[in-house]
Structure 1
């Protein structure tokens, strides 16, 4: 058995929490600085390290590169050029992230080639495409998790805009009302996100004042208006605050997830979640961030399809819930044991896997009798060459395990 514990990197972005990841890992709380993401995988920027029985650590990136077929399996290694195709994260958002979208595989390949020809260094701050791959992602809530994702039905958005109508807003409301479809959304979004600063400085305060009145009156769109007010306070004079009026406002309960395919415009607001995504750094931002913003390029990749954002609860398979998507890079599943439940679950090897414990304590047993204990916040790497392992809770209380694998179409 070559299942090995992982030592994972913590990313200290400013929007992170000073308690969530530290508490998960059993470290002193609060942490000295915000901790936003715990990375599990073989990302070149911050790979996990596998911890051998002798305590010696090796970069998971080096382990995979030294034996791609043994670690990933023949099909996965061939499909992804010897790269682990997914990255698993714990996301701890204390403050909103940037408003962003990710490219399709074709858009990423074209953008990467274009920037390579232009000679833009891959680590440059203004680089949009540091790699030639797509970046779909799925986020599954561990706590109540708040997000903006996908364009709301235009008819519903027209109702919202009319509920907070101001003299400066009316013409934009009627623009969408005259064409309540993806083309109308594209026209309004493009107009707002490219407004000259003087025009934005005139319109945005009107909109924020109208949102305050709507909240005071306990209006129908109270949650949406509160979100816009929070974003306006954090990012004054930013066109992304207006754009937030066009997106679905979501509150996920623990265990619920959303899948963000190529082109989906989104913004994570607050909460803790498990996130799985393609192993890529391609992000196009349009606002609400001090990082590089490239509105023209974002407009090339944004998908203006509209309607309610699907919320996934996972397809039940025994005590396992599987979050199926059309992403070939990954699949995420969740296994739960209630307090007092000690049933054993067999995980048949289907390819490279990362197993993450988010509650309780688990015991992993191999066919040869080897055992690995997995505590809350800990994760293990299981290469494709491993046989099935058996997992069961130990100790008291409930236990939760997330299982990240390559997409089923690759193995």
Structure 2
């Protein structure tokens, strides 16, 4: 197996302290948003044998196993991250595999440069993802029921929002959500900036109002979003979505077409190896409204907070409906019997607490290893270790 030396991405929304605290190092004062573990060519993990993507390319079947190569091709099909949100990320949605293939091929035919700021599709793959909280973690996930969204907007008592409230009351679910989101993202920017300012002030007021206690945390979250993105139409779009607070160990699965945003906290994130994002707002980056509306699933959803399912051997699995990744964890008490993790698929093991031993390596929080398919592997010690692999 290989110890991984991983790149930390300094995106502006990143926390300045969360990843340094996990790693036990001094903060630099700069945002540290994501630590990538895997073979993504944008920031592959480094090993004593070279960059992990180069190692895998040299002998895919040896590193990934025959079953994984046959099912997913000669590449690691997932990317594992530690994500540290110090400010809200963009409101976004991901395509399914067919939509991604169609969108990618269309942009290739139009010869849109892969790095063009208005390009939507970086590859032809879908991007389902799972976020597991290491600290209390806030986010938005999926549409509210239209009547619930109407009630939340109505309490703001902002005149320019009242037509949206009427639509949410009057139309069937899909039509209501589509019409309101389209109107918000297509509105005159100056007029929408005024609406956002008025709505933000109302959210701040209602967050402290005892009579609004059932929605006070939601209003506080939207007020915070508005402080980070004043005047952004995405602030109103965000109010159509479920506000979710995860406790450590809880997770969210985000499938195709589900609008979402991470607002704050530290977590372990795993996703299919893709970079396809359609943005709805809360960003200075390109928002392609027509393409976004083609991808979004306009249906109310329960956020579906996941809690791990314990297996007899102590493995706690976060069940998801896709095969490109499988995330689980072991919480090891002092003196626990070693767990055999040998598998015919590739694995990344990540320590997030305590001290764990695997092979010749002792891992502290934030440290990780890559385990080639079939490589003898067991884990012991006292702490928490996340296991990322595939279903093949």
TM-score (norm 1): 0.91
Query: Residue in 1 aligned with 2:11?
Result: 13
Query: Residue in 2 aligned with 1:331?
Result: 326
**Distance in structure 2 (CA, Å) of the matches to 1:376 and 1:291:** 33
Whether contact under 8 Å (1:155, 1:180) holds in the other structure is no
Q: Which runs of 5+ in 2 are unaligned?
A: none
CA deviations 1:80-133 (Å, max 9, x no partner) are 221110000000011111111111100110111011111111122222111110
Match of 1:390 among 353, 373, 378: 378
Whether contact under 8 Å (1:20, 1:92) holds in the other structure is yes
Query: Residue in 1 aligned with 2:45?
Result: 48
Whether contact under 8 Å (2:62, 2:373) holds in the other structure is yes
**Distance in structure 2 (CA, Å) of the matches to 1:122 and 1:81:** 22
Give how far 1:198 is off: 3.3
The CA RMSD measured in Å over matched residues stands at: 1.5
Asked if 1:403 corresponds to 2:391, the answer is: no
CA deviations 1:331-367 (Å, max 9, x no partner) are 10011023x34222111313010000011111124xx
Q: How does 1:6-405 map to 2 (within 5 A)?
A: 6-27=4-25, 29-51=26-48, 57-218=49-210, 219=212, 220-318=214-312, 319-338=314-333, 340-365=334-359, 371-387=360-376, 389-393=377-381, 398-405=382-389
Whether contact under 8 Å (1:168, 1:206) holds in the other structure is no
CA deviations 1:126-165 (Å, max 9, x no partner) are 2211111000000000000000110112222222122223
* Partner SS for 1:270: strand
**Distance in structure 2 (CA, Å) of the matches to 1:165 and 1:73:** 59
Runs of 4+ in 1 over 3 A off after TM superposition: none
Give how far 1:233 is off: 1.6
TM-score (norm 2): 0.96
Q: Which runs of 5+ in 1 are unaligned?
A: 52-56, 366-370
Moved more, 123-132 or 244-253: 123-132
**Distance in structure 2 (CA, Å) of the matches to 1:263 and 1:307:** 11
Give how far 1:19 is off: 1.6
Q: How many residues align?
A: 389
Whether contact under 8 Å (1:166, 1:207) holds in the other structure is yes
* Partner SS for 1:351: coil
